Amino acid sequence: MKRNYNTLILCLLCCTYIKVSAQDDNESMLCMGDYQTEEEAVEQLKRIKSEFSTLKEWKNRTQIIRNGILKGTELVPLPDKTPLNPIYRNKREYDGYSVENVAIESLPGVFVTGSIYRPLGTKEKLAGILCSHGHWNEPKDYGRYREDMQKRCATLAKMGAVVFAYDMLGYGEMREWGIVHHHPKTLKTQLWNSIRALDFISSLPDVDDKRLAVTGASGGGTQAFLLTAVDDRIAVSVPAIMVSAHMFGGCIGESGMPIHKSKSHETNNVEIAALAAPRPMLLISDGGDWTLNNPKVEYPYIRDVYKLYGKEELVENWHLPNDKHDYGYSKREGMYPFMAKHLGLDLKKVTNDKGVVDEGGVEIEHIYQMRIFNSLNPLPAHTVRSNDGIWK
């Protein structure tokens, strides 16, 4: 039985469940929101798992799932990778790290805004980490502006990584010049923006392109596992509070295009996340949202995939049964040591005398400090200012 997901938390944190009128031909293939019951999800995983038992069979299946994502988002063939033309603004230095505003051109005239964090006083090549964000609705408290996002990025930088926090489609400054989130092609554009964000961070002269990672929560968690699924350059991934067998993403930017089902295949976000294997992955989950079953449903399934590679020790689950839907400190507390372990970061640089990660030295900036474009630095004349113009 299919159900519409109408709870308050989904409306506030994962956007509104809506139909995509421009995709009427594919509407029957869309798996949106709380698409199936928890019991149906378990049965689906059993059914899917019966289709492979060896590593060769799983690898064949990964191609089907990956192609399903790319075809479903209309990214077959992949667009030409045009010059990123990065624009840098207003570098600030704080205790152990710096922040700089940056915009990249993912397509001609399509600017992705963000913040790049770096450790101070380092000369060696560093790990590169992408930080994606979820879909909060308050303009003054969403995306890379959020306190928890700034703490996450700055702390990872102090540990020895170059961190790029980039705005999801229709958030941050993009929203101000006419790009919205609710659009039939949002998932296509957002996944492409994530691929180009990875192009950007991997191209930086101080980044080791063999040590690239991604982490995000809620809708940002979806971007984390989708990018990892389609791009092998991601070496480490930490999708938070989003990998679920029964919930497919309630936001148009997560499930508004047919990536889970076609006439020839079906899958779900658990399998998509499993495409990370055998690369290190940490699933972060809690008892207050759709990831409540991770310890007994989603994680064991993914761990069995890692076992096919003989690498089950590379996937972990940080489960907080009493937590709710966020990327709060209790969740970041599990993420930091995982990143340190697999990316060669220095956890001691952010650990206090009690052996606990201390984010107290992070400067929380105001929105105006994080802006790339303003009256003194206006948008380029060729900027695309509407979603319909992006793919033209």
Q: What is the mean pLDDT of the chain?
A: 92
Please state, in angstroms and as integers, the Cα–Cα distance from residue 148 to each residue in 139, 142, 184, 301, 372, following that order. 15, 10, 30, 30, 21
> What pLDDT, on a 0 to 100 scale, did the predictor assign at position 392?
84
Instruction: pLDDT band for 187, please (50, 70, 90 cuts).
Output: very high
- In a 10 Å sphere around its CB, with 0-12 CB exposed, 13-18 middle and 19+ buried, how is residue 124 labelled? exposed
For domain 115-363, give the CATH number. 3.40.50.1820
SS (H, E, C) 201-246: HHHCCCEEEEEEEEEEECHHHHHHHHHHHHCCCCCEEEEECCCCCC
DSSP symbol at 180: -
CB 198 within 8 A of CB 227: yes
Instruction: pLDDT band for 138, please (50, 70, 90 cuts).
Output: confident
List, for residues 289-347, the tens digit of each pLDDT value: 999 999 999 999 999 999 999 999 999 999 999 999 999 999 999 999 999 999 999 99
List, for residues 247-296, the tens digit of each pLDDT value: 999 889 999 999 999 999 999 999 999 999 999 999 999 999 999 999 99
List, for residues 353-366, the tens digit of each pLDDT value: 999 999 999 999 99
User: Is the pLDDT score of 389 beyond 90?
Assistant: yes
Model-level pTM?
0.92
Proportion of the chain above pLDDT 70, given as a percent: 92
> What pLDDT, on a 0 to 100 scale, did the predictor assign at position 27?
63
Q: Quick one: residue 322, left, alpha or beta (phi over 0 = left, psi -120 to 50 = alpha)?
A: alpha
Q: Where are the domains of the chain?
A: 115-363
Evaluated on CA atoms 284, 285, 286, 289, the torsion sign reads positive
